[in-house]
Amino acid sequence: MKDKQKRRDNLFSVRPPVTQPKKTETPVSVGIKRQRLFNLSIDLLCIATLDGWFQDLNPAWERVLGFSCEELYSKPYLEFVHPDDRQSTIEAVRGLSSGNVILTFENRYRCRDGSYRWLSWNSYSVPEQGLVYAVVRDVTDRRQLETAFRSWQDALQKTSEELEAANEELLALNEKLTVMDEELKQQLEELEKSEKALVLANQQLLDIIEFLPDAAFVVSQDKKVIAWNRAMEEMTGVPKDDIIGKGDDAYAAPFYGNPRPILVDLIDADDVDIAGHYGSFRRSENTLYAEVYVPSLKDGSGAFLWVKASPLYDPEGKQVGAIESIRDITEHEKSQEALSFQKAYFEQLFENIPQGIVMLDSSQRIVSANNGFKRLFQYSIDEIVGRNIDDLVVPDGLHGEAASIPDAVLSGNTVQIESVRRRKDGSLVEVSIMAYPILVDYNRVGICVIYGDLTDCKRAEDRLKYLSLHDPLTGLYNRAYFEEEMHRLEGDRYAPVGIIVCDVDGLKLVNDSLGHEAGDELLLVTTDLIRRAFCEGDMVSRIGGDEFAVLIPNCPETVVTSLCQKIRNAIEVFNEVHHDIPLSISIGFAVGDGSKRMTDLFKEADDSMYREKLHRSQSARSAIVQTLMKALEARDFITEGHADRLQDLVSDLARAMGLPISRLADIRLLAQFHDIGKVGIPDRILFKPQQLTPEERTEMQRHCEIGHRIALSAPDLAPIADWILKHHEWWNGQGYPLGLKGEEIPLECRILAIADAYDAMTNDRPYRKAMSKTAALEELRRCTGSQFDPELTQVFVQLLSNDEPG
C-alpha cells in the first residue's frame, strides 16, 4: 500500500498545474489536496495502466458497480467489460497508447449483482508512464431513455403507417357497412328471437330437472354447479342456494365428506382411479352407469346409490356441461343381500339336511338332488339328472303306489307315506316319503320329494320298545313288564302261580367301596345264576336296584321251593370258585292258588325275602369287609410289617400321652384298617411311581370316605369309622376331607398321622426310596404346627430320639 501511495503521489505530480502553488505549499500538501478532490468526486475517476489493470479508483466506483476497489484492482479491467464491448474497448486503449485523447467513449461494465451499467469515458494517456487518466460517468439511465425513445419513435412511425392504411380500409368498409346495415338489423332481430328461445329452452330444461323423481345436478363445462334439484336437496340436505355456482368438486362433499372427483368427472376422461370406486361401472357411448356406496349420506350411516352421468350439448352440438342423476337403492341392496343370504342359507340347508331331497319336473325327471339323496340311494348327481325317479328307486311291486304320488301332487295335494325304495346296489331301504308341488307364479311346474331313512328310526323304535320292557343292564324284563304279567296271570287259569323274590345283600357296600362298575358286575353275575335256574318260559325280571323277581305259572309249591334251593346251591358253587367278592342273596317266595290277588301274592313273597335278609345282611356285609381286607392285603398295603410297625408306634405314643389301656385296642385297630378305603382306588393311581396329577390326587383322597362307609358296614370296625374318615386332617386345617383343624381332629387321628408319616418316610414307597431316621424326624419337626400336632410331635420325636438310630 505504501508503494501504491507513492506511485499515486507521483502520478498526481506528473502535470504541473497552470498556477504555481504558493511558496508556502509543499508538494506533499498539494498531493493531499488533490487526493481529497479525487475521493470526493461524484464522477468515477480512474488511473489505469496501458496493459489493462486499474491503478487507482475513487470511491464512486464502489457505489456504482458494487465491487470494492480491491476487487477491481485484482483483475484486468476487460474482465468487467461486457463481452460485446470488449473489442471496442481494446481499440480505444490502442488509440490512447498512441497519445490520442478519447472523449465520450461508452461501454458496459459488470456489477456485483451480475447486471451491467453503461459508462461514458473521457480519457488521455501518458505513454512514457504507461498510464491512462480518465473521468467516467454512469450513463445507464440516459441510454435506457434513448432506447425507450427510439422504440417509441419506431412504434409511432409504424402506428402512423398502420392508421393511414386503416383509414383507407375504413373508407372501403364504410361503403360495405352501409350495405350490411340492413342485413345486420335483420340478423339481430333473429338473434334476439333465438336468445329468447334459448333462455326459454334452458328454463324448461331446469324445470324438468327440478321435478325429476331422481336426485340430479348439472355442472357447467368448467365443473361449476348450475342446477341442483329438489330431490337432490332432500337426499343430501344441502339447499341449492348453498351449492349453485360452486366448483372444485364441491358437489361430491355431501356424499363423501370432502370434495373429490366423481362419476360426472369421468365423462371426458377415463380415470381408472375414480372408476375403481364404483361397482358395476360401465360406459355406453358417452353415458356412464355405476353403483356405489357413499358413507356420508343419511347422517353418516351411508347409502347405496345407482348413478348415471351424461354430457349436455347446445343446439350447435357443442358440449356445455354434464348432468348426473342419482337414485337411492339402499333398500334394494339390502333386499338383494337378504336374498343372497337366504339363497345361500337354503342352498346349504338343501345340501346338508340329512333327509334325501330330489326336485322333479312335471314328467318326474330328476332336475336336482341333495347330498342326502345321493347318500341314501348311492347315486352320483351325474347318474340321475334327467332320469325318471321311479326307474331308479321304485322296487318291483310298488310301481302302482309310486305312480299315484305325482298324480296327487300335481293336483295340488301333499303326500306323506312310509314305504320301501331300492338303492343302486339293489338293496331295499325303509323310507318315509313326503311329496309336495313346486309352484312358480302359482303354477305347479314340478314336484319336491323328501325321503327319510327309517332304518335308524326303526332301530331306535325297536330299542325303545325293548327298553320299555327290559332292564338295560341285565337284559331281564323290567318292573313295568313284570307288573303287566302279574295282571295277566290274575285268576285261576294259570294257578298255581309262584313268585320268587331275590335281593342282593351288601350291594350298596360294594358300590360305595369298589365303585358302581363292581356293583354292576355283581348284578350281572346274579342275573346269570338266577336265569340258569329257570326254564325258558319262566319270566325273570329285575324289579329294583338290587331286587329280582320270577313269575312261574302252573307251578306247585314243592317245585318253587326246589327252585329257590337251586339258586342257593348255585351261589355256594360260585363263592367256592370266586374269592373276589362273596355273593349273598336273600330269597323269599309265595305260591297262589288263584284266590289271592297277584299284588298280595307278591307282597307275601317280598316279606318272606326281607325276613331272610334280616338274618343274613349283617353277616353278608361282614364277609364283604373281610374280603376287602384280604384284597387290601393282596395289594401290599398292610404287609411287609407296615401294620405291625404302625401299631407299635401308635401304641408307644398313646401310652406316652397317658391314654388308658381301653383305648389302645381301638387305636391299634385304626392303625391296621385306616387305609381300607384304598381298595376302591384304581391300581394305576395306587401304584404310580411318579407324583400324582391334581385329578389323581383328588381321586386318591376319596379313600377316607370309602373307608368310612366300609367301616360302618362292619360291626368290628364301626367304632373307628369316624377316625378312618378324619385320619388325613391337618393341624392347620389344610387336610381333607372335612378341613378340620387343631383339637377338632380326634386325638387318635393326630397320633396316627405322625406315626404313619414317620413309617412312610423311613420305608420304601413306589414313588421314592426310604429316608434315614434322622431325616424323617427333622421333617416331622419342620411340619409341626402345620400338618402335625406340635405337642404330640415333640413327644414322638423325643421317644424316637431315645431309641437306637434307625
Contacts of 6 (CB under 8 A, 6+ apart): none
Say yes or no: 105 and 31 in one domain. yes
Q: Taking 80 as the threshold, does the pLDDT of residue 485 lie above it?
A: yes
- For the stretch 542-600, pLDDT in tens is 998 889 999 999 889 999 999 999 999 998 999 888 867 788 889 999 998 888 898 99
Q: Is residue 582 part of a domain?
A: yes
Residue 435 Cα distances to 64, 365, 411, 444, 458, angstroms: 114, 14, 12, 13, 21
**Three-class DSSP category at 73:** helix
Q: Which of 53-57, 176-180, 285-289 is predicted least confidently?
A: 176-180
Task: Supply the CATH number for residue 518's domain.
Answer: 3.30.70.270
Say yes or no: 649 and 510 in one domain. no
- For the stretch 497-545, pLDDT in tens is 999 999 988 888 787 777 788 889 989 999 999 999 888 778 899 998 8
Q: Taking 60 as the threshold, does the pLDDT of residue 11 lie above it?
A: no
Say yes or no: 433 and 381 in one domain. yes
pLDDT (0 to 100) of residue 331: 80
Number of domains forming the structure of the chain: 5
pLDDT (0 to 100) of residue 751: 95
* CA 77/CA 71 separation, integer angstroms: 10
Classify residue 344 as exposed, middle or buried by CB count within 10 Å of its CB (0-12, 13-18, 19+).
Answer: exposed
Q: Which of 142-151, 313-322, 419-428, 652-661 is predicted least confidently?
A: 313-322
Say yes or no: 640 and 767 in one domain. yes
Say yes or no: 690 and 611 in one domain. no
Residue 420 near residue 448, CB atoms below 8 Å: no
430, 458, 486 - which closes a domain: 458
pLDDT (0 to 100) of residue 223: 82
* CA 374/CA 568 separation, integer angstroms: 59
- For the chain, the straight-line distance linking the first and the last C-alpha, in angstroms and rounded, comes to 119
Q: Taking 90 as the threshold, does the pLDDT of residue 202 lie above it?
A: no
**Three-class DSSP category at 394:** coil
pLDDT (0 to 100) of residue 549: 94
Task: Supply the CATH number for residue 740's domain.
Answer: 1.10.3210.10
Q: Is residue 187 part of a domain?
A: no
Mean pLDDT value of segment 360-378 = 89
- For the stretch 608-661, pLDDT in tens is 888 887 766 566 566 666 666 666 665 554 445 777 888 899 999 999 998 888
Mean pLDDT value of segment 368-388 = 89
pLDDT (0 to 100) of residue 79: 93
Mean pLDDT value of segment 433-441 = 86
114, 138, 162 - which closes a domain: 138
Mean pLDDT value of segment 136-158 = 88
198 vs 367, residue with greater confidence: 367
Q: Is residue 161 part of a domain?
A: no
pLDDT (0 to 100) of residue 154: 86
Residue 701 near residue 685, CB atoms below 8 Å: no
Task: Supply the CATH number for residue 430's domain.
Answer: 3.30.450.20
Q: Taking 70 as the threshold, does the pLDDT of residue 22 lie above it?
A: no
138, 165, 192 - which closes a domain: 138
pLDDT tier for residue 35 given thresholds of 50, 70 and 90: confident
Amino acid at 259: P
- For the stretch 206-258, pLDDT in tens is 767 777 778 888 888 888 888 888 888 888 788 888 888 887 777 777 887 77
Averaged pLDDT of the chain: 83
pLDDT (0 to 100) of residue 275: 66
* CA 639/CA 175 separation, integer angstroms: 151
Q: Which of 53-62, 399-408, 701-710, 796-805 is predicted least confidently?
A: 796-805
Q: Is the pTM of this model over 0.85?
A: no
pLDDT (0 to 100) of residue 61: 94
Say yes or no: 269 and 357 in one domain. no
Amino acid at 90: I
pLDDT (0 to 100) of residue 272: 61
Q: Which of 387-391, 422-426, 764-768 is predicted least confidently?
A: 764-768
Q: Is residue 193 part of a domain?
A: no
pLDDT (0 to 100) of residue 201: 61
Say yes or no: 643 and 618 in one domain. no
Q: Is residue 188 part of a domain?
A: no
Say yes or no: 639 and 715 in one domain. yes
Strand partners of residue 45: 135
State what percent of residues in the chain have pLDDT above 70. Answer: 87
pLDDT (0 to 100) of residue 44: 92
Q: Taking 70 as the threshold, does the pLDDT of residue 63 lie above it?
A: yes
Say yes or no: 615 and 654 in one domain. no
Q: Is residue 181 part of a domain?
A: no
- For the stretch 730-749, pLDDT in tens is 999 999 999 999 999 999 99
**Three-class DSSP category at 502:** strand
pLDDT (0 to 100) of residue 323: 87
* CA 377/CA 369 separation, integer angstroms: 11
Q: Strand 497-504 vs strand 539-542: parallel, antiparallel, or unpaired?
A: unpaired
Say yes or no: 585 and 678 in one domain. no
pLDDT (0 to 100) of residue 7: 41
Say yes or no: 728 and 794 in one domain. yes
Q: Is residue 345 part of a domain?
A: no
Q: What is the span of the domain harbouring residue 445?
A: 353-458
Residue 344 Cα distances to 331, 340, 347, 757, angstroms: 20, 6, 5, 69
359 vs 492, residue with greater confidence: 359
pLDDT (0 to 100) of residue 23: 45
Q: Is residue 173 part of a domain?
A: no
Say yes or no: 579 and 665 in one domain. no
Sign of CA dihedral 23, 29, 31, 34: negative
Residue 48 near residue 124, CB atoms below 8 Å: no
pLDDT (0 to 100) of residue 68: 93
Contacts of 495 (CB under 8 A, 6+ apart): 554, 592, 593, 594
